[in-house]
Amino acid sequence: MKRMVLILSVFIGIMACQQEDGSKISDKYQELFKLSKETEDEITSSDECKSLKKSLSGFAQYKEYYAAHGKAYQKGYSSTVDKEADRMACVEYLMGQTAFLSGLHSSQRKELLYLSLDKQKIKFEDKDSAPFITRQTGLQLIIRLLSIEKEDAILKALSDYCGTHEFRYGIYNDEAFNDFLISQISKNCKK
């Protein structure tokens, strides 16, 4: 079942970049990079997610938990055994919800943006690790933060990049896109 969800997620990532039409700003980008229904269902139905939802509340607790986890991923699919990828996917998914993000001050969202960028870098550092779902939730969190902060120039650049590149294994697993994402935010977004 998990393998099927991973395959569907990669496929949906590929499709997301092919649907770009250049119209609306902000909401369009959230839609462009959103999780598949299957991936979202897998995350929200997990015991890990239910536990985190009950135990964490408020920005400080979420940030502390997020900062403490996701510092490394096991080789291959081993992160499914140690649950690190599951924990990261859940906390990123929960923090990426509109109700959570809209309740934060802009400075807190910027802080979360830079923390999530650091986490996204880690997901690509080890070439032998494969935290597919958390790469998706991390990208979705980043896009939602950029949208709420109205970083339209960055979002447009990311969208334009999608329109001019093909992603063999989906946008979520494309290291060049990840590097472009990080460079765009680092250059154009003020802390």
The count of domains in the chain is 1
Place of tokens 């690190």: 84
Distance CA 150, CA 147 (A): 5
- Given this model, what pLDDT does residue 70 score? 84
> Is residue 141 scored above 80 in pLDDT?
yes
What is the value of pTM for the model shown? 0.81
Which residues have CB under 8 Å from 93's CB, separation 6+?
A: 35, 40, 43, 44, 49, 137, 140, 141
Residue 135 domain boundaries: 2-188
∠ at Cα 12 (8, 17), nearest 5°?
160
**Chain-centre distance for alpha carbon 39:** 12
Mean pLDDT value of segment 115-137: 86
At residue 113, the pLDDT reads 96
pLDDT at 26: 55
Averaged pLDDT, 48-63: 95
Average pLDDT for the chain: 81
Measured between alpha carbons, how far apart are the two ends of the chain, in Å? 40
Q: What is the pLDDT of residue 81?
A: 56
pLDDT above 70 covers a percentage of the chain that reads 80
Average pLDDT over residues 147-155: 91
Rounded-to-10 torsion of CA 28, 34, 36, 39: -170
The per-residue pLDDT for 86 is 87
What is the per-residue pLDDT for 75?
62
More confident call, 62 vs 172: 62
Range ranked top by mean pLDDT from 100-114, 117-131, 164-178: 100-114
More confident residue, 166 or 35: 35
Q: How far apart, in whole angstroms, are the C-alpha atoms of residue 58 and residue 75?
A: 33
Query: CB-based contacts of 171: which residues, under 8 Å, 6+ apart?
Result: 13, 14, 16, 17, 33, 139, 162, 177
- Say how many C-beta atoms besides its own lie within 10 A of residue 162's C-beta: 22
* Listed ranges 1-15, 78-92, 175-189; the one with the highest mean pLDDT: 175-189
Per-residue pLDDT averaged across 149-166, rounded? 89
Cα of 183 vs its chain's centroid, Å: 16
Residue 53, both tokens: 């939802």
